[in-house]
Amino acid sequence: MAAATCKTSPIPTNLNHPHRPKPHIPRFQTVRCASRQTPKTSSKTLAHGDPSPAFRSVTAFAPATVANLGPGFDFLGCAVDGVGDTVTVAVDPAVPAGTLSISSISGTATSAAKLSRDPLWNCAGIAGIAAMRALGVRSIGLSLHLEKGLPLGSGLGSSAASAAAAAVAVNGLFGGRLSLGELVRAGLESEKKVSGYHADNIAPSIMGGFVLIRSYDPLELLRLEFPAGQDLYFVLVSPEFEAPTKKMRAALPPEVKMKDHVQNSSQAAALVAAVVQGDVRVLGSAMSSDGIVEPRRAPLIPGMAGVKKAAIQAGAFGCTISGAGPTAVAVIDGEDKGKEIGDRMVEAFLSEGKLKASATVARLDRFGARVINSNAD
């Protein structure tokens, strides 16, 4: 099967005008991917051409994500700090060569109990196998342990976080030979099987920050740089309610009116501009202005309309559904204010939807999935 080769290049956006001062405008980082037939070569390979492991075991963490961000349905998402999944991958002589086995799953009780240990039906397993294939691993067997930090069906990219952590852990075990784009493709193998071929969770979970999917064929990803030194907080309020992605996608309209398309396109463009300019107020306003997807999904989440109203009244710059839901996400520029907004949103879920909920305030994750531990012994 063809692997992928990807090039990353910064695209400057400063305008050179003789009568205008040159402002500092953040850059877009583009990842372009194309298929190719053979894996990259390495100076460290086994005699039969396989890459040699750099460690005995590697542990990687991948952050939760907020997909869509209102009008950015299936093409925009971002990573949030502090919550996510962890995967440990180890060289295991007991596992058949060229294969991967899931040794154990722990963490969030309800999530761990529902997940299969069959690597062909587990998000971490599918992505880990895809990463092995991209690396050309044929003569070494691996075992994988998944620690779930995210609940299933929450709208926080639970499946993508498992896939991202697994792909990065396998890549790290062999010295980090895959590019960001190849890692995203490995994660997409998992997403395609469990929730559909869309990268608005897996791309930001791996790359960090805000990521815009410009194209799926060929895959082209634009990382949007939110200005350094500026704070952006997400208030994530998750009710005790499951919103299956398939059910939430089935609620979407088969056709969109021209005026709605124009309105949503303008809001999505404003959202992108607000990200690179660091304008949290405009970012929140645009995020709250989806006129196509949110109106269809919100009625399926008890109390969602009241929760959004409560967030705005409490001072949030914007509020919408995170991914397919049921988590509601609001944005603000201060942590203390975020905690207050979260309390009001939790109260609204209970009073308006009769649902218990919990709130978390998290910063933008600017780094994405990363190796957090390695063992050479």
Which are the catalytic amino acids? Answer: 191, 245
Give the CA count within 13 Å in the CB-facing half-sphere of 237: 33
Do the Cβ atoms of 298 and 68 come closer than 8 Å?
no
Beta bridge partners of 359: 237
Helix, strand, coil percentages for the chain (3-state, nearest 5): 35, 30, 40
Closest CA to 160 of 215, 108, 205, 96: 205
Quickly count helices (H) and strands (E) in the chain: 11, 13
**Which runs of E-coded beta strand occur in the chain?**
3-11, 28-36, 57-67, 76-91, 100-107, 142-148, 210-216, 219-224, 233-239, 318-321, 328-332, 357-363, 370-375
In the chain, the N- to C-terminal Cα span, in Å, equals: 33
CA angle 356, 297, 304 (to 5 degrees): 35
State which amino acid sits at residue 97: A
